[in-house]
Amino acid sequence: MSSLKTILEILKPSQSFLQKIKFPPNLNDLPSTALYYYTNLLQAAIETPDPKYFRFNHSNSKILTKFDKTFNNCVQSATTFQDSKFPSQSTWRSPEDFLVKDQIKLFQEISPENIVQGNLGDCYLMGSLIVLSENPQIIKNLFKNDYNKYGLFGVWICESGAWRLLLIDQYIPCLNSNSGPCYARAKNNELWVMLLEKTYAKAYLGYKNIILGFSGDALKDLTGAPSEYIDLKEEKKSWDAMVSARKNNFVLCASTKINEELDSNLISKHNYAVLMLKEVNKKELWLKLQNPLQGFSWKNDYKISVDVEKTLDLNPNDKKKGIFWINFKDFRDNFEVVTCNKIHSDYFYSFVKIAEKTNPCIIRAIVLEKTHCYFSIHQKHERFFKGNKEKYMYSISRIIVCKVENNMIKDVIAGDFSTKQSSFIEVWLENGEYLIYGEVDFIQNICEKITISAYSDNPIVLDSMRKDSLNIGFFEILEEMFKMYIVKNPKISQITNYETGEITKYNGTLWGFVYFFYKNDAKELDLYEAVTLTKCDNLKKFYPFDSKNNNYFEVICQRNDFKLVLYKIGVKNNGSHACSMTSLVNLVENLDDKNLIEKAIKEGVKNKRNNDVFLFNYKFKGGTALVYQNNNQAVFEEKLMFKVLENIEIVLENGEVKGNSVAVKLQAKGCFLIRLNIKNTFVKKSGFNYSVN
């Protein structure tokens, strides 16, 4: 604490990075994890040329130390760095072997037109670099250092949700010992395109592992920002979504359809960068695209009007660069999906790696200042497991964010699930403490690693919570979250009301579950319901767990209580599922003996047993009450013989049951209660018959 205060006192408050970090006014109020985070953040601000770009967590100091040690070793030994973890092959060459030696730079002209895809099928990665290069600082922030004679580069990549600083040497794959790069490159003497592709290959264990992919993954790996997909089926909705994304300075890539007759020079299942959107004369919609394989652009078979040509500012040299305009109708005919990466150049990134077998996990998030945030849960990328005998598949993942006060859940903010590598939610948070519930329903045991991340405009401290820190188990946490969220948002459910709305059943889909939530506000009624799922496609009973029958469950929800039944949605068909049901419902009156006797005498069928002795037969929800009332001064006795007791249990306030008979002994001016309770309320048929001796 004292060292941090000393540094802050020395540094001038007007410096931009201190303004961006926005330290709390009272450092004594910081939790230890938050204090450690801010210390690292300050160190990062001092070391990083662009202080707007922070992605440091508790472990980054070790990574930086490793880079510095390696670089110092190269300086002291006057040797060129050679990466033993990603060793060069025989045809890999130094940039000095194929570029103009005295003109080599890491950066010279970071622009979309300067990126050329090589012989590797990684158009998704090149398309991502093209759209990101429109903001050169984003590219520069990925590099720890500049071009140097030791051939050592530190390059950041957000792999599976965790930022890593990879050490890269300068050797680039070439066709032979006399040729230039065979993969991606820049048009001039700069290195950044080749080195970023090499970093990506090292991160995923080889160039062959980065052939084919999705721009959403690549953009997320290069920015830390979450990606989402825009469906092109609905014209207005998809266009509005793209326009909104561009207004927010998000970046867009588009993928063509597969194995279809595409228009001239469009490549099947190929990624294109979306550079610009234009609306002409309030009716014609156009997109400016770039093909990473330069020289291949779209050829339309109609003449563009003069108005359109002026508005689009067509450049005849663009075709050589793979840049072209296409109207939205043709775009939708030929392209399948648009990827939107929600990058914010000044956002903070923090993450926590979850130990394997710690699933589900609970993460604490400390928000010190009001912030906008994307929380994400990440699985390990499938690229790491290419060639495995057992196929690695992404599983259903879910993430839920709750507000916490005094170690108690106060509110459920948001939640979501997906079958993709990463699932994210967007939230706006006030300062305070939050709980993040993360879970992956792993369908394989090859790798069960999880990372939780926060991408926000003000720093968020993430810290793993001990299981006992909330004094509540995982199932109880789920119960509490569902109860709060469903009651707060009743419109998400199909609602069934029993008994004038005092008892309610909510049924729906939420966070990767199909739920049945029962809330009983009745004063005297208990709910018994037996549910049979006549359709239960891609669903598995989860809570409370009963392995006997996946399509059947029973619920007993007593007065002033709630019950929750959960089915997990499977990963099959991207979480597609179906559920329909029938049910048997019984409502049971939970009456004490005094109230039951009073009701029976007041509302029951009255039978005279003697001069002033009466037997009242009263049917209530859940059974029948037989009540004797003795208005005499003498004791009254008789025996009831039950000939039929089908699904009926005899319960006496006083006295004894012998077999199927009850000896009634009624004191003067007294009452005698016999309860005939239904044993199993989930069985439709029940009844009794008796005679008197």
Distance CA 14, CA 20 (A): 10
Q: How many residues does the chain have?
A: 693
Residues 6+ positions from 667 with CB-CB distance below 8 Å:
630, 635
Q: Terminus-to-terminus CA distance in the chain, angstroms?
A: 89
**Bridge pairing between strands 450-456 and 539-543:** unpaired
Query: Concatenated DSSP letters for 311-375?
Result: HHT--GGGGGGTEEEEEHHHHHHHEEEEEEE---TT-EEEEEEEPTT--SEEEEEEESS-EEEEE
CATH number of the domain within which 373 lies = 2.60.120
Domain closes at, from 158, 188, 212: 212
Among 150, 178, 212, residue at a domain's last position:
212
CATH number for the domain that contains residue 291: 3.90.70.10
The answer to whether residue 387 sits within a structural domain is no
Q: Which of 413-417, 511-515, 587-591 has the lowest mean pLDDT?
A: 587-591
Least reliable range by pLDDT among 122-131, 256-265, 655-664: 256-265
Query: For position 50, what pLDDT does the model report?
Result: 39
Section 271-288 average pLDDT: 89
Q: Is residue 506 part of a domain?
A: yes
- Residues 208 and 293 placed together within one structural domain of the fold: no
515 lies in the same domain as 543: yes
Output the pLDDT for position 40. 57
Q: Name the nearest CA neighbour of 404 among 471, 500, 456, 305.
A: 471
Lowest-confidence segment of 51-60, 69-78, 224-233, 667-676 by average pLDDT: 51-60
Same domain flag for 207 and 91 = yes
- DSSP secondary structure letter of residue 143: B
Task: Give the DSSP letter string of 57-86.
Answer: -TTHHHHHHHHHHHHHHHHHHT-----SSS
Among 21-35, 162-176, 496-510, name the one with the lowest average pLDDT: 21-35
Cα gap 417→423, rounded to integer Å: 6
pLDDT band at 500 (very low <50, low <70, confident <90, very high): confident
For residue 66, being part of any structural domain is answered with no
75 within a domain of the structure (yes/no): no
Of 163, 184, 212, which residue is a domain's last?
212
| Residue 16 or residue 292, greater confidence | 292
The verdict on 105 and 197 lying in the same domain is yes
- Identify whether 119 is part of a domain: yes
Q: How would residue 59 be classed by pLDDT, with cut points 50, 70 and 90? A: very low
- Shared domain for 201 and 236, answered yes or no, is no
Beta strands, E only, 170-283 = 172-173, 185-186, 227-231, 251-256, 271-280
pLDDT band with cut points at 50, 70 and 90 for residue 416? very high
Q: Is the per-residue pLDDT at 554 higher than 70?
A: yes
Q: Confidence band (pLDDT; 50, 70, 90) for 10? A: very low
Number of domains in the chain: 6
Residues 423 and 504 in one domain: no
In single-letter form, the type of residue at position 151 comes to G
- Residue from 289, 272, 271 nearest 327 by CA: 289
Question: pLDDT tens digits, residue range 128-137?
Answer: 999 999 999 9
Q: Which residues contact 608 (CB under 8 A, 6 or more apart)?
A: 614, 615
Q: What is the pLDDT of residue 439?
A: 93
105: which DSSP letter?
Answer: B
Residues 542 and 563 occupy one common structural domain: yes
Tokens of 633: 């001064």
- Does 407 fall in a domain? yes
- With bands split at pLDDT 50, 70 and 90, how would you rate the model's confidence at 573? confident
Alpha-carbon gap, residue 650 to 641, rounded angstroms: 12
Contact 452, 436 (CB under 8 A): yes
Examine residue 78 and state whether it is found in any structural domain, yes or no: no
**Phi then psi dihedrals of residue 527, to 5 deg:** -100, 130
Would you say residue 347 lies in a domain?
A: no
Q: Are residues 53 and 162 in the same domain?
A: no
Tell me: do 92 and 169 sit in the same domain.
yes
pLDDT of residue 97 exceeding 70, the answer is: yes
Q: Judge if 291 and 324 occupy the same domain.
A: yes
**Cα–Cα distance measured from residue 472 to residue 336, given in angstroms and rounded to the nearest whole number:** 46
CATH code of the domain in which 509 resides: 2.60.40
Task: Tell me the pairing of strands 251-256 and 671-678.
Answer: unpaired
Tell me which residue of 454, 459, 476 sits closest to 360, measured CA to CA. Answer: 476
Question: Which residue range forms the structural domain that includes residue 369?
Answer: 362-379+393-471
The pLDDT value given to residue 30: 54
pLDDT in tens, 430-483: 999 999 999 999 988 898 899 999 999 888 888 877 655 666 778 888 999 999
Read off φ and ψ for residue 440, nearest 5 degrees. Answer: -125, 125
Instruction: State the pLDDT confidence band at 266, using cuts at 50, 70 and 90.
Output: confident
Q: Are residues 88 and 204 in the same domain?
A: yes
Q: Are residues 584 and 606 in the same domain?
A: no
Q: State the CATH number of the domain containing residue 657.
A: 2.60.40.1180
